[in-house]
Chains A and B, each alone.
Chain A
């Protein structure tokens, strides 16, 4: 079971930095009682130690998450940013990446979400798909695009 709905998507979001994006998405999850109130802080703390910026093409994305503590129901939150914010590169934490899309997967158990993880990895490897998602013009467009591409119910 993976919760995904339009209240978990931040569309055309204007955020100052990576921390604000993480707090906003975690706040949306908490508003639906999917994660604890501390989940945003936990995820940010993990991000500072194990960054999740990914050097995808033609623009970068981020894949923040914390461990299962504080997750009552697995959920996917997504932010489409109006202006990029900097996340550090997972493969090389010294490098900052300009991130446009943020996928926050709060997990009870990663193996239970293996289908979504597979579909995310397929999406992350296709530049034309990432552009399609970024160029959606409405919140509803983002939600239905993600449901279709990630095969979410």
Chain B
């Protein structure tokens, strides 16, 4: 079974595309061929929570609830310095290695 990371934002357009692209590129570099990165609308998240392959949520918005999988705030992908973007990607890689 593959591993699914969902990238959620309010509108599911430009913002989540930027985060999705950054994470996909790093997953390819790490050789994680089974990791799928998919951008979604935050409003649609319920449908993904029951999926067995869901391993991580990256949200461009503030999160007001808890989930059973690790959650990362993705705003640095949009407005962080290159260092901040890399630090976040390192954290995501570490978390992915554990699942």
Residues from 1 to 60 in B contacting A, C-beta threshold 8 Å? 9-11, 13-15, 17-18, 21-22, 60
Interface size on A, residues (CB 8 A): 28
- List residues of chain A with CB within 8 A of the CB of B80: 125
How many A-B pairs have beta carbons closer than 8 Å: the answer is 66
A67 to B77, CA, bound (A): 21
Interface size on B, residues (CB 8 A): 24
| Beta-carbon contact of B17 and A50 below 8 Å | no
0 or 1 for each of B69-83: is its CB under 8 Å from A? (1 = yes): 000010111111110
Q: Tell me if B84 is interfacial: C-beta within 8 Å of chain A.
A: yes
A40 to B87, CA, bound (A): 37
- List residues of chain A with CB within 8 A of the CB of B22: 121
Q: Which of A5-13, A17-25, A27-35, A111-119 binds B?
A: A111-119
- List residues of chain B with CB within 8 A of the CB of A105: 14
Q: Tell me if A49 is interfacial: C-beta within 8 Å of chain B.
A: yes
Known: A110-B17, A114-B17. A50 touches B85 (CB 8 A): no
Known: A91-B61, A91-B62, A124-B78. A117 touches B17 (CB 8 A): yes
CB B19 to nearest CB in A, in angstroms, measures 9
CB B38 to nearest CB in A, in angstroms, measures 12
- List residues of chain A with CB within 8 A of the CB of B15: 52, 63, 90
A55 to B76, CA, bound (A): 10
